[in-house]
Amino acid sequence: MGIHRVLLAASVAAAVASAASADVTFALTHFHACGLELKEFTQPGDISGIITGVTVNVWMEHATAYTYADDLSIYLDTGDLSHGGQLAIGGMNTMQAVDFYRWPVENRQPLRDITFATPLNLGSAPMKLWIGNGFGTQATSGIWNGTITFHGASGIPAPGSLALLGLAGIVGRRRRR
């Protein structure tokens, strides 16, 4: 099997796997947030689908003033950051969200799945995703590493997937000549 066929097969496999998984994963690498600081991760409509749950696998790299790994917060709202959004997970502040979940913790490390009592349909209202520190005051801070996966969601393809698809197109075009 030639290199072109291997590349094409790998590209097709990556495209099929990403389309079939219906999950969106966000990686946190040295993610720093002060107390009650949430950072915008997506724009409305960047993720879609019906979210049935979240899997988090994060660990704390550094913390100050009693911030723990389970203070990592996820917040979904239709617009700018405000109270009363659709979903809040983690931290001490509920943000008065319609649905609020605490991380199931083991040694204060959130390493578990949360399945929503009612799935969240992102098609009814495009939402922004915010991630940050849901504890304390500006004096508190944390640095997290790991991944957050939304089950049942789809989103903008990752740059790596787009590169593989582009490579498959180039190989396919070259083969036709």
- CA dist 151 and 17 (Å) reads 14
State the pLDDT confidence band at 98, using cuts at 50, 70 and 90: very high
The domains found in the chain, sorted by start residue, are: 22-153 (2.60.120)
Question: If you average pLDDT over each of 37-41, 159-163, 165-169, which comes out highest?
Answer: 37-41
Q: What integer is the mean pLDDT of 36-58?
A: 93
Q: Which sign, positive or negative, has the C-alpha torsion 35, 67, 31, 132?
A: negative
Beta bridge partners of 32: 143
pTM beyond 0.85:
no
> 3-21 vs 159-176: helix axis angle to the nearest 10?
140
Phi-psi category of residue 108: left, alpha or beta, with phi > 0 → left and psi -120 to 50 → alpha: left
User: Higher pLDDT residue, 71 or 109?
Assistant: 71
Expressed in angstroms, the distance from the first to the final Cα of the chain is 19
Q: What is the pLDDT of residues 165-175, one digit of tens each?
A: 454 455 455 55
* 142 and 65 Cβ atoms separated by less than 8 Å: no
Distance, in Å, from the CA atom of 138 to the CA atom of 120, rounded to the nearest integer, reads 31
Q: Give the pLDDT confidence score for residue 158 in this predicted structure.
A: 47
Q: What is the reported pLDDT for 131? A: 97
- Distance (Å, rounded) from C-alpha 114 to C-alpha 135? 20
Res. 12: pLDDT tops 70: no
Residue in this structure with the two tokens 């913390």, named with its chain if needed:
63
pLDDT for 108: 59
> For 107-136, how does the pLDDT look when each residue is reduced to its tens digit (9 = 90+)?
556 568 899 999 999 888 889 999 999 998
* Residue 145 pLDDT exceeds 70: yes
- With cut-offs at 50, 70 and 90, classify the pLDDT of residue 11: very low
Q: Strand 38-40 to strand 128-133: parallel, antiparallel, or no bridges (unpaired)?
A: antiparallel
CA separation for the pair 119, 105 (Å, rounded): 22
pLDDT at residue 49, as a whole number: 93
Q: What is the mean pLDDT of the chain?
A: 79
Q: Provide the pLDDT for residue 37.
A: 94
Q: How large is the average pLDDT for residues 12-26?
A: 60
d(CA 76, CA 54): 12
